């Protein structure tokens, strides 16, 4: 009989993230068998009964619900996993915190800074364990970048730059609102690429390089009106289709960020580069098992960018997987986040990023939108704890 401490999960939302998280819980049990705590897939919730039943069968959930409130009301749920669109995060999280449940919430934490602040206050007041799924931190190459930066190998940091480029909304026929295109509806999403894509870049950037102090941004909405699937009417588009911003970090370095859904040819080109006094690092989601590294102290005749394949057991997370030279994928970042969350239950440490950390990212997002709207520099008021 298992002596593990069971954490009974109630997962809400069965779309893309519902699948990645469910896969994460299942695989974590296989690949991190020594952890003291283990997930039990107790309930899954989505609004369509037939679909949620199918999902439960496919991923191994014991029961279903069609109203998220029922998940929170259940005594046999310890942790609520929020995988629904952004406009539902606050309401679900506030109810879950009030019920004393642990909360794993998808990013961005909320649509607005005000919502995010209320949610953070609620989990802190309730004293419930919380984390936000900024999963790119748990890509082994990105985690290794953090270790290299923290070791001081880069020296003083001068530049941080990141892009997140897509191309799926270029056609004016793509509608806004509804199940598949809620990201284009400002009421559901809160913002466009800023909250959806740049939030990832901002979280990783502050994790690697510290707090962002102030920002100057420009946004554009290339297609001003689209049919709304809710009303069937042509309506004004309220989201940012593209966003560029530059910033100062607390450590004195400069940041440059770009995101768009209008970069023809790019599906999800998340890239980051950091330039220090002694060395530089770059990473690309399309080649996510590699970290590129340039070290100026190398002998000059062989000095150049190294392309490091991150598959060895002494590189982050990799001893869990296969053999050196064999790669892993996108889904593993979620397995790692699940494992880190369950490990943190044993150690009592926070599982970063917490709601507090995600609130700092939300502050940057809000300052970015505010800066673009007012065509002026904005302070972020970020208090980065690391």
Taking a C-beta distance cutoff of 8 angstroms, is the pair 256, 274 a contact? Answer: no
- Calpha distance 165→231 (Å, rounded): 30
Q: Which residue has the tokens 């394949």?
A: 309
Q: Which residue has the tokens 């999902």?
A: 55
Pick between residue 83 and residue 193 the one whose CB is nearest to ligand NAD: 83
Q: Which stretch binds ligand NAD (CB under 6 A): 39-47, 155-163, 164-172, 317-325?
A: 39-47
Answer yes or no whether residue 240 interacts with ligand NAD by CB under 6 A: no
Q: What is the CA radius of gyration of the chain?
A: 21
Pick between residue 106 and residue 115 the one whose CB is nearest to ligand NAD: 106
157-186 residues near ligand NAD, rule: CB under 6 A:
179
Answer yes or no whether residue 61 interacts with ligand NAD by CB under 6 A: no
**Which residue of the chain is nearest ligand NAD when measured via CB?**
15
Answer yes or no whether residue 85 interacts with ligand NAD by CB under 6 A: yes
- Calpha distance 176→182 (Å, rounded): 6
* Binding pattern for the stretch 91-130 against ligand NAD, x by CB under 6 A and - elsewhere: ---------------xx-----------------------
Q: Which residue has the tokens 């392309």?
A: 307
* Binding pattern for the stretch 187-226 against ligand NAD, x by CB under 6 A and - elsewhere: ---------x------------------------------
- Calpha distance 103→95 (Å, rounded): 10
Answer yes or no whether residue 14 interacts with ligand NAD by CB under 6 A: yes
Residue 97, both tokens: 């915190």
For the CB of residue 158, give the shortest distance to ligand NAD in the complex, in Å.
29
For the CB of residue 93, give the shortest distance to ligand NAD in the complex, in Å.
12
Cβ neighbour number for residue 75 with a 10 Å cutoff? 7
Please list, residue by residue across 277-309, b when 16 or more beta carbons sit within 10 angstroms of its beta carbon and e when fewer do.
Answer: eebbbbbbbeebbbbbbbbeeeeeeeeeeeebe
Per CB under 6 A, the list member of 45, 145, 208, 368 interacting with ligand NAD is: 45
For the CB of residue 53, give the shortest distance to ligand NAD in the complex, in Å.
13
For the CB of residue 12, give the shortest distance to ligand NAD in the complex, in Å.
5
Pick between residue 164 and residue 249 the one whose CB is nearest to ligand NAD: 164
Q: Which stretch binds ligand NAD (CB under 6 A): 42-50, 279-287, 307-315, 350-358?
A: 42-50
Answer yes or no whether residue 88 interacts with ligand NAD by CB under 6 A: yes
- Calpha distance 129→47 (Å, rounded): 26
At 256 the three-state DSSP class reads: strand
Structure-derived torsion over alpha carbons of residues 223, 226, 229, 234, reported in degrees to the nearest 10:
160
Cβ neighbour number for residue 230 with a 10 Å cutoff? 15
Site for ligand NAD, rule CB under 6 A:
12-18, 45-47, 68, 83-86, 88, 106-107, 133, 135, 179, 196
């Amino acid at each position: 009989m298992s002596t593990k401490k069971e954490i009974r999960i109630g997962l809400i939302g069965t779309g893309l993230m519902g699948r990645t998280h469910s896969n994460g819980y299942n695989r974590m049990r296989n690949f991190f068998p020594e952890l003291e705590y283990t997930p039990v897939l107790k309930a899954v919730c989505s609004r369509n009964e037939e679909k949620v039943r199918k999902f439960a069968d496919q991923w191994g959930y014991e029961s279903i619900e069609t109203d998220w409130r029922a998940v929170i009301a259940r005594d046999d749920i310890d942790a609520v996993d929020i995988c629904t669109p952004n406009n539902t995060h606050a309401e679900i999280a506030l109810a879950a915190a009030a019920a004393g449940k642990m909360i794993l919430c998808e990013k961005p934490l909320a649509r607005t800074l005000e919502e995010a602040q209320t949610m953070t206050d609620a989990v802190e007041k309730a004293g419930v364990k919380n984390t936000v799924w900024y999963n790119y931190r748990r890509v082994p190459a990105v985690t290794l970048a953090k270790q290299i930066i923290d070791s001081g190998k880069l020296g003083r940091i001068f530049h941080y730059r990141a892009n997140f480029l897509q191309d799926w909304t270029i056609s004016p026929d793509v509608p806004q609102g509804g199940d598949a295109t809620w990201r284009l509806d400002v009421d559901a999403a809160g913002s466009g690429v800023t909250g959806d894509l740049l939030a990832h870049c901002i979280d990783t950037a502050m994790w690697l390089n510290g707090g962002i102090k102030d920002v100057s941004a420009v946004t554009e909405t290339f297609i001003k009106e689209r049919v709304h699937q809710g009303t069937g009417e042509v309506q004004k588009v309220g989201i940012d289709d593209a966003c560029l911003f530059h910033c100062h970090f607390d450590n004195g370095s400069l940041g440059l960020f770009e995101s768009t859904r209008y970069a023809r040819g790019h599906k999800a080109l998340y890239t980051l580069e950091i330039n220090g006094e002694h060395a530089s690092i770059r990473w690309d989601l399309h080649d996510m098992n590699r970290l590129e590294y340039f070290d100026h102290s190398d002998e000059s005749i062989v000095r150049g960018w190294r392309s490091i394949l991150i598959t060895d057991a002494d590189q982050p997370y990799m001893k869990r997987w296969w053999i050196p030279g064999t790669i892993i994928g996108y889904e593993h970042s979620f397995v790692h986040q699940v494992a880190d969350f369950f490990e943190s239950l044993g150690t009592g440490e926070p599982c970063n990023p917490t709601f507090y950390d995600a609130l700092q990212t939300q502050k940057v997002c809000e300052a970015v939108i505010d800066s673009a709207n007012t065509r002026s520099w904005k302070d972020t008021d970020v208090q980065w704890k690391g």
